[in-house]
Amino acid sequence: MKVTSFNINNYKSIGSKDNFLSVDPKVTALIGKNESGKSNILEAIGKLSFNRPLSPNYLSNKNRGASGEVSIIVHLEYYQSELNQFEVSQANTSLSFIDNTTIKIEGGLSELVKDDELLMEAINDVLELNIRSVWGNESKRIKSVQDYMNGLKVITSHVYINHSAKLGHLKSWITNAYKSKEDLIDKIEIIDNCLAKHYSLLPSMYYREQYPQLEASYKYDDIKDIFKDTNHIFYRFLIAAGITEHEIVDAFEDPIDGNRKTVRNRIVRKIKNNIEAEFNEFYNQEKIEFQIEFESRVFKIYILTDDKAMNLSERSNGLRWYISIFVDVLSREHKNSSLVYLLDEPGVYLHVNAQKQLLELFSRLAERENQVIYTTHSPYMIDSKDITNVRAIEKVEEGDTKIFKSAYNQNLSNDSKMETLSPLVQAIGADLKFNIGPSSKNNLITEGITDYMYMNAMINYLGIDSAPNIIPSAGVSNINRIVSILFGWGCEFKILLDYDKAGYKEYDVLVNKLDETLEDKILFVCCNEEVVKEKMVSNPQTIESLISEDDSKQLSTPYDGSSSSKKLAAKEFHDKVVNKEIELMDETVYNFKTLFEALNIQDYNLTTVRN
């Protein structure tokens, strides 16, 4: 299952308002100034487990100014592969963590458990038993059995916490005097197996408060203890490579010299095949090779670049960090359930190109039914081709963290809007020139984020390689500010305006107050020069006007002219088009191709696609 959102209540700086985090199906970026509360959000999410309730320590992290208690609600939905596997009418699921004893379930997963006839029949058979005749008369045991039975009674509305341990106890506690002991054990194992299958649909959280770096060498005596710590970075390195504890023992302790050499060669091959090959696929700053040496009773790691071998500790912190997080993340993919990777400032030690490659790693992880949520201050850690996955985090005067559904929310502070070109730039704390800069020769300014989403979706749909750098303004009235900066930097750009009163008002500001030469850079959505010259908006047109009625009907939340549906429709259109979930009508394709031709994005033979 994939997470769609979190409701985080009263955890540290997060209060009971503006505490809803919408999560992208693949990668979500959290941006905001230092001390805005980004790390608190990751911590609140990362310390969750769907197999245990909130701990007392978790609940003690209460927002000092809040009247309510700490709680969190997680909203999920099935992946398409899971929908194909299970026949369920309710796809959405919510899990509520409200105390240190229970996790409530509603929706799809609850229905899936309820509709499992084999599971429910086994539970009913167990619940019908006389507890004392099966498990004896010892008072403490009877109380535990009763508690376990109460959990089974509400199995469709509550997670059965630590089900394997509890059901294992039930099996071991059955008295030998009970005649149908083996039959009961079978029923308990059915319950255990069915719950394990259903609960495996829930994702696991990958969260590190710190990023330990892989060391250059490890003593064998220390490695034996490391195998007891499944979170140790060297243990994750071995798991990622597929190296077993038995192989490490044989590599150092096998009394036959030839056997030791054989297993050592096997370990080296596994590292090259399972780590080195995949690492070089994404880290193309330089090609590296891992060289492993077994010197005395020490496991040593060397990095070979251009035939020059260096001890891992001699390489840059950036490369060591990248290798460490790469193997840590790679090792988690050996789990059966999907993962939500929570990464706090993951690119802080990396140079610009390496940061961009980290985004490629995130995309790769998301392709395997995982999700990534990360925080950043770096403009290089924002995917300029798709900024719809960015969430802005801001701390208000009262000290509470405020979570916005996008980086282009009009409710961000006025200082954010006035001091920078857009809320996105202010939230990053960076300068827009890092993203578009004077060297950029092809920029397109749109009125807002919805225009960006439609344009980006159609550029993706048509497979346009020479697409412009789209800069969404925080509202049409802010376009002139962006234009002023681009003029100063010597950037080439065009401006796309809606054919409505607000669009013409900004047109007048741009042409009559800023620079009359801008007239040649402005295009209205309708692309009709004769209509535009009349400067009379008799039939207003926006970017949504380019979407055919049939395509609009394919959206669960079509644009109906209201502000509430505007962004929802744009986001759904964008996601469905990019993920190839809908086939667009020729009318929509023709309208956008006409617009793109007018913007000189790409030439088309329009007559071949017209209805």
| pLDDT at residue 429, rounded to an integer | 46
Q: Which residue has the higher pLDDT, 325 or 349?
A: 325
| pLDDT at residue 413, rounded to an integer | 61
Distance (Å, rounded) from C-alpha 392 to C-alpha 412?
9
Cα-Cα-Cα-Cα dihedral of 420, 421, 426, 427, to 10°?
Answer: 160
| pLDDT at residue 536, rounded to an integer | 57
Whether the predicted pLDDT of 130 surpasses 80 = yes
Whether the predicted pLDDT of 197 surpasses 80 = yes
Q: What is the mean pLDDT of residues 364-377?
A: 86
Q: Which residue has the higher pLDDT, 33 or 476?
A: 476
Whether the predicted pLDDT of 433 surpasses 60 = no
For residue range 205-218, list pLDDT tens digits in order: 988 777 788 999 99
Residue-wise burial string across 103-123, b where 16 or more C-beta atoms lie within 10 A, e elsewhere = bbbbbbbbbbbeebeebbebb
Percentage, residues of the chain above pLDDT 90: 45
| pLDDT at residue 473, rounded to an integer | 83
| pLDDT at residue 243, rounded to an integer | 95
Q: What residues contact 608, with CB distance under 8 A and at least 6 apart?
A: none
Percentage, residues of the chain above pLDDT 70: 88
Grade residue 601 by pLDDT with cuts at 50, 70 and 90.
Answer: confident
| pLDDT at residue 547, rounded to an integer | 92
Grade residue 428 by pLDDT with cuts at 50, 70 and 90.
Answer: very low
338-342-344 Cα angle (round to 5): 165
Distance (Å, rounded) from C-alpha 452 to C-alpha 440?
18
Grade residue 610 by pLDDT with cuts at 50, 70 and 90.
Answer: very low
Q: What is the mean pLDDT of residues 52-71?
A: 91
Q: What is the mean pLDDT of residues 225-244?
A: 93
Contact of 131 with 142, CB cutoff 8 Å: yes
Of 399, 434, 395, 218, nearest in space to 313 by CA: 218
Q: Which residue has the higher pLDDT, 361 or 594?
A: 594
Q: What residues contact 231, with CB distance under 8 A and at least 6 apart?
A: none
pLDDT, mean over the chain = 85
Grade residue 471 by pLDDT with cuts at 50, 70 and 90.
Answer: confident
Extents of the domains making up the chain = 116-199, 208-336, 436-611
